[in-house]
Structure 1
């Protein structure tokens, strides 16, 4: 017997009993031209704006206007150490120690900086393993790293593929690859949560497998940060990167994050690209000293922090700090489970959910295939006031985000989908 029930009353009741429901009012929900709120289900692509964001950014604009360069030390939130105001909160979100985390650059730039340090090909061990349907940006980045080292990007790339007629990846197949080719693989670089299927990988299991075969292991957590409990420190991964504009609600193209495990924190011999912000803070402004790298993830930061983007990240992280990723994760499981329950009422001959049905193996995204449907279905959903996400060839991605989506959102979405399918 299901723990969920049908009907609008049940959805309303769940919202009334939800201790996080008031956070919805702290976000700007997009509206249609008649002023009615849209059902926004694309936090996996771009998170909504917290209402507090404007005041956080305005604070910095005012300090810049009043203080000019003096704002580096005299602003309400001094700009010189501004990135440090984000470190602890971000570490909590991704399950890391503060020394392991830095907010800087953008996602793919961070991935390249990590590979400069951690992809160390030799004549015999030079291959990179990624999932076959990795986000294109990851594939392009690792291929370019292979070429940069004079390696053929097709020969040097190993793909972990799903089995025939399956969508999800199996760990047995990864084990088989490592058994036969493990001594040729220098780096395993997997998307922590796959963008297409929504499959959340067991980071610890993959890391242990990789390390057993002497491979470096890194993750792109763009679809995981702020969505699932990543526990990056405990996973043992060598590095990870993520963006902040999806589940971390920091605005389009905002800064990204990077994690470097603390066992690498004091290794000054790690090859890396450097800049003055990775140099010892005590002597940074002496200007003529030899480079002296900072310990931890800060040792990968090149430039002074872009304050306006960081202010938007701070607005969101302060909310994450208030609630905690555990509570958000608990609500996420209930909300996504309810979504799955309602979709299954439409019949498995109509709807196929390709995301794992085990709540430990997914975040809040469900990827839906509708039989005999094409992009027209997605267009009709959009016209009906549902903002979802179409991915070729035939998947609609919906992410009921625990911060601002409600049980009623989920109920209304499925009702609209049902009406379109019954046309």
Structure 2
């Protein structure tokens, strides 16, 4: 399609957008009485209007039924988490038995590493990407120390080539082969939080398995954003937060994937609790643990229903729309944003460098942009003008036009605000 940098063209794209109606299903903050242009769905998605209804249902049941709500609420609490399985499985490309919702992201990664990081002999090293999200760095380092190893020796980082912004798959595969039989685990973020680069998860998973390692993925920036086929790719495990592209609310519950080939492994190491116990016998309070024959065996505590209610509200929309439609709009709106940025770059005495891959297969919803020659004053200007984005040092802004609620006119309007901010920057210092 031949894009145009005009409001009329953007509005025409919105008229043709089959998902445009879902914009009205979300609540937008306002700046100076006007709805913001919201680019941080990669940090915290907007609140679905139905979230309040789902939470209110729980509160009403709690008030009217108290403890009996576990069994007699319309959405009974004791099996509330089971309502996620089929819908969430379609989002991440899994079987319903392979997914569950529990805890929060880093907690789940720690728990999953109990099962899938089992160093012994000379097989003890973990391969991850350089400058992974800090929580992953802390988590991996602490796991290595817990097992008695030195992180400087046991953690192998895949690095970018000098002068390049993104990782090369060939370099990842080369490093896996080089570490070889010393590799116990490959654990990488499926979408790099800084650049928005999508890793070739299928190829990397296969390479990890070829050297005898487990392979897991942190899908914080991937779930609800890109096409995932966790079962087909034979991924061992994965976890993701729900509050970014999946709009569940701040710090909310995490989703987990555990490949079905491990469900019947009776001696797999795992931290256990009563919610992973055979649900048909759970309330018999038996002393011996009998695991559920699904990913739910990894659950420990009963589900945090109030926290999960907004996630379920959002997931209903995912089920209604489907990932293919979301990805189709994502590709188009990100391409239009990319076009607008290049057009504005021509009009101002500045230099934008998009460090996210140009190849659609290697990116999702996010564009990370180096604003060469610009400083935090421009970021401040954008925020005060109602453009909610985020800043990463030294001078990068991350823009994530979530397809559920961002419009093409938003992309055009952002370009005009950005241009004005650059041309008048001497007035905002």
Normalized against structure 1, the TM-score is what? 0.98
Structure 1 equivalent of residue 236 of structure 2:
238
What is the aligned partner in structure 1 of residue 427 from structure 2? Answer: none
Give 1:409's aligned residue.
410
Tell me the distance in 1 between the aligned counterparts of 2:207 and 2:376: 39
CA distance in 2, matches of 1:269, 1:374: 55
The separation in 2 between residues aligned to 1:3 and 1:101, in whole angstroms, is 41
- Counterpart Cα distance in 1 of 2:198 and 2:181: 26
Rounded to whole Å, the distance in 2 between the matches of 1:181 and 1:168 is: 21
The unaligned stretches of length 5 or more in structure 2 are 425-429
Equivalent residue of 2:345, what SS?
coil
Residue 214 of structure 1: SS of its match in structure 2?
coil
- Residue in 2 aligned with 1:92? 90
Question: Is 1:309 matched with 2:311?
Answer: no
Match of 1:397 in 2: 398
Counterpart position of 2:206:
208
After superposing on structure 2, the runs of 4+ consecutive aligned residues of structure 1 that deviate more than 6 Å are none
Match of 1:52 among 50, 53, 56: 50
- The equivalent of 2:18 in structure 1 is 19
Mapped partners of 2:50, 2:176: distance in 1: 48
**How many Å separate the matches in 2 of 1:45 and 1:320?**
18
Pairing 1:266-281 to 2, within 5 Å after superposition:
266-281=264-279
- Please name the residue that 2:370 is paired with: 369
What's 2:135 paired with? 137
Is 1:344 the counterpart of 2:342 in the alignment?
yes
Q: 212-221 or 368-377, which moves further after superposition? A: 368-377
Q: Match for residue 5 of structure 2?
A: 6
Kindly indicate whether the alpha-carbon contact (under 8 Å) linking 1:199 and 1:361 is maintained by their aligned counterparts in 2: yes
Distance of 1:170 and 1:296 partners within structure 2: 35
55-64 or 337-346, which deviates more? 337-346
2-structure distance, mates of 1:373, 1:166: 21
Superposed, 1:12-411 pairs within 5 Å as 12-32=11-31, 34-347=32-345, 350-411=351-412
Distance, in Å, in 2 between the alignment partners of 1:86 and 1:288 is 27
Distance 1:27 1:108 in 2: 27
SS of the residue 2:157 aligns to: strand
Q: What residue number does 2:421 align with?
A: 420
User: Counterparts of 1:304 and 1:183 in 2: how far apart (Å)?
Assistant: 39
Contact between 1:354 and 1:366, CA under 8 Å: does it hold in 2?
Answer: yes
The alignment partner of 2:225 has SS state of coil
Question: In 1, distance between residues paired with 2:2 and 2:258?
Answer: 40
Which TM-score applies when normalising by structure 2? 0.96
Over aligned residues, Cα RMSD in angstroms? 1.1
Q: Distance in 1 between matches of 2:254 and 2:177?
A: 34
Consecutive unaligned residues of structure 1, counting only runs of 5 or more, are none
